[in-house]
Structure 1
Amino acid sequence: MMECSWKVLLLMVFTSLGIQYTAIKSFRMTPAPPCSNMAAENRCGHIKDNIRRALCEDVNSQRSKKHILILATSRSGSSFLGQLFNQNSDIFYLFEPLHTVWNLFIKSNDQDTIDKRSLVGAYRDLLHNLYDCDFYALENYIKPVPEDHVAPSLFRSGASNALCSPPVCNQSQRMDERECLNKCKRVNLTLASTACRYKHMAIKTIRIPDINNLRALAEDPRLNLKIIHLVRDPRAVLASRIATFSDYRPFQIWNSSGKKPQKVDMELIGNTCIDYSTSVETGFSRPPWLKGKYMLVRYEDIAMDPVKKANEIYNFVGLEWKKSLSMWIEQNTKNVTTYYNKFTTKRDSSKTAENWRLHLNFNIVQAVQQICNKTLSQLGYRVVDSVQQLNNLPQSLVEPRMFLPFV
């Protein structure tokens, strides 16, 4: 008689011993085939024991569901990439749910004394819960604790179509983020958990610094994890942060005057480059735990040909492409309005991908190139030696590169 996979048997052993779910969550196991070679609908039918059959069916159902993670940094184009999944009605998309964890840690601790290991561990645990459609886990980080599992608000919940639609929100028409926040501010976590179970799940985050932090999730047999690692030219990332965030005031002074103030902290952009390099080196080394789970994508490649790149991403994830996605991309990448919103996803993407070169002081460019030289080389970004090279937009700084998914 055919037996279920050894992973399921291990889960059954844990269950019989009364081990807590969190222990199972962190247990690492190497990939194994499904319960048998039978057709999917019959894989677990021969198992008479109810507990074993339930566990086996749970593993099979999770393996058919896609658990997508957009791994990115701030101001790298991740909001646009996230929309490629948010616009798909078959996907339950969440925008930065880990912000809730980060916000609580920041409020409860001095930023310089935060235990980064504990923080990353909390991120990882919450990701697992959300991929399992356990939205109640968010209540551990929402203060005051929601009553009757209704959160007064979630960080930028309006950026998720799933949270702005029935059954989570009683609104039938499509709304933009601002409309949703006005009409659907309160989030019923029970309804979100229920709605999530019938869809694929995609999560966008800028909180995970290194792909190696995701190994436990990648090796978990209950998840069908697909990691889209989004990178962008670090010089462009810094230029966008300078233009967007008020705490980059010293850089703004440097950028406008050309004179470097005494207190300019290059550590953040340096850490961004270190995180890029560490993750890319891991991905390029093709470890077994990332097989079939990792795809590196440059923002600039999406910007130059968004439909083509989006199709490649969908093909890697294993999702069917929809014509409505092509229409949405056309509407949101050919935008010619003069109105500028720093958080919008509507841009003329092919024209704005390298526009940072006209707005970033050459002295800052040189400083970033010195710190991030290795990263620029790894990802195929050319360095410049003069203001003339920097401002010569017809000569792209993005080398033609093919980064094939690890399948």
Structure 2
Amino acid sequence: MLSTGRGSAPVFKKAIVIVTGKRSGSTFVGDIFNNSPGVFYLYEPLKELMMLFIKRKNPPGSNFNEMAFSIINNTLQCQWNKSSMGLILKQSCVKSRILVACDLCRKNLSVQDRLTKLSEACREQDSVAIKLIRLQDIAYLEPLSYYLDLRIIHLVRDPRPTEKSRMKTRPNQDLIRRKGKTAKDEVDLCQHMQRNLQYWIKPPEWMVGKYLLVRYEDVAMNPVQKAAEIYNFVGLSLNDNVTKWLIKNTQCNSTIEICNKAFGTFRNTSAVINRWRDVMSWSLVKRVQSVCKAPMNLLGYRIVKSENDLRNLSIDTVGPLTKPANQTAT
């Protein structure tokens, strides 16, 4: 742990934030860190905050973005109070390996003991990692860059299979919270992608060296290689635990029931890339392409012009990723 030079706040060797949208492969990519010794990983620390705002219809005197930033900041510094701890543990106890290993999810553990054990478990690790699907703009993270050794992994996925996958988990409660029941999911998805792609094309000064764009499709096709690249970016070494987990979880037989669970990570990941093309309706594909054309072009996701092209798997819908020169994401 290092000194910040700005009071007593600690700086970890790495504070890793995965930013993406719902159903974009973040559970799988997050588990690349979840299965690594030395990394304190928390799964979706903002989900319970979202549910609080939905249930209470925006609590008086509270601002979602401000509260979300506070939770993110506290988590990356292992500095929780009883209230913030309660908001992060419900989801993370289901998904975060280290919380289970440290016996933090026992129901008969007192609140104070749980808070103490949580802080100790976090501080004992070299790095902290979280994944966020409810952060609308990566720029919200800028203040963290001045006192944390921040690394931002911006995960993107072809919006067509993303939208197809989202249909399994509707309604989109966070979208309803932000924009109401009549908001169009595919429009919000594409706006989120476009808004955050500007940081890939022309990163602001504070983000230089702290930002990495990752396509889910590239991870799915070459999981060990891409995981090594991600680990290199954050300044960690890919260990055998992660490599073995990747091999086990990317060679799943698609006939096994667990492979097809909506929120699971057991996948034949290379097969996932094209599965949507067999089952997604042509009308929905056209709708997503019409509103997402700009970010799709930027990211190398090829437009299909007919239903025949959609079903013809010899036509590749994922092209090479090439960063455009001297452009802005407008």
TM-score under structure 1 length normalisation:
0.70
Unaligned runs of 5+ in 2: 173-180, 325-330
For the pair 1:196 / 2:196, whether they are aligned, the reply is no
Cα distance change of structure 1 residues 246 and 98 upon mapping to structure 2, 3 Å threshold: closer
- 2:30 alignment counterpart: 82
Which residue pairs with 2:165 in the alignment?
240
2:21 touches 2:192 (CA, 8 Å); kept in 1?
no
User: Equivalent residue for 2:152?
Assistant: 227
Alignment match of 1:375 (pick from 280, 292, 295): 295
| Structure 2 equivalent of residue 324 of structure 1 | 241
Greater Rg by CA? 1
Retained in 1: the 8 A contact 2:93–2:105?
A: no
Q: Tell me the percent identity.
A: 35
Secondary structure at 1:83 match in 2 = helix
Q: Does 2:93 align with 1:157?
A: yes
Q: Detail structure 1 runs of 4+ shifted over 6 Å in the superposition.
A: 182-187
Q: 1:388 to 1:265 in 2, by over 3 A?
A: farther
Task: Look up the equivalent residue of 1:139 and give its one-letter code.
Answer: S
Equivalent-residue separation in structure 1 for 2:85 and 2:36 (angstroms): 28
**Residues 371 and 266 of structure 1: is their aligned pair in 2 closer, same or farther, counting only changes over 3 Å?**
farther
Match status 1:267 vs 2:211 = no
1:70 matches 2:18: yes
Whole-angstrom distance in 2 between the partners of 1:155 and 1:163:
11
| CA distance in 2: counterparts of 1:183 and 1:351, whole angstroms | 43
CA drift at 1:395: 1.9
Q: What is the match of residue 316 of structure 2?
A: 396
1:150-207 Cα distance to aligned partner (Å, 9 max, x none): x9x612412101100126368xxxxxxxxxxx99999812201111002110001111
For the pair 1:285 / 2:212, whether they are aligned, the reply is: no
Aligned length: 309
In structure 2, the partner of 1:40 is none
What residue in structure 2 maps to residue 91 of structure 1?
39
- Report if aligned partners of 1:104, 1:141 keep a CA contact under 8 Å in 2: no
Contiguous gaps of at least 5 residues in structure 1: 13-54, 144-150, 171-181, 249-263
Provide Cα deviations, 1:359-397, integer angstroms capped at 9, x if missing partner: 111111111111111111111100011011101113220
8 Å CA contact 1:100, 1:141 repeated in 2:
no
- Compare relative contact order (CA 8 Å, sep 6+) and give the higher one, 1 or 2: 2
What is the RMSD computed on CA atoms of the aligned residues?
2.8
Partner of 2:175: none
User: What's the counterpart of residue 73 of structure 2?
Assistant: 128
**Relative to structure 1, is the Cα distance of residues 213 and 77 closer, same or farther in structure 2, using a 3 angstrom cutoff?**
same
CA distance in 1, matches of 2:132, 2:60: 19
For 2:185 and 2:40, the matched residues in 1 are separated by 32
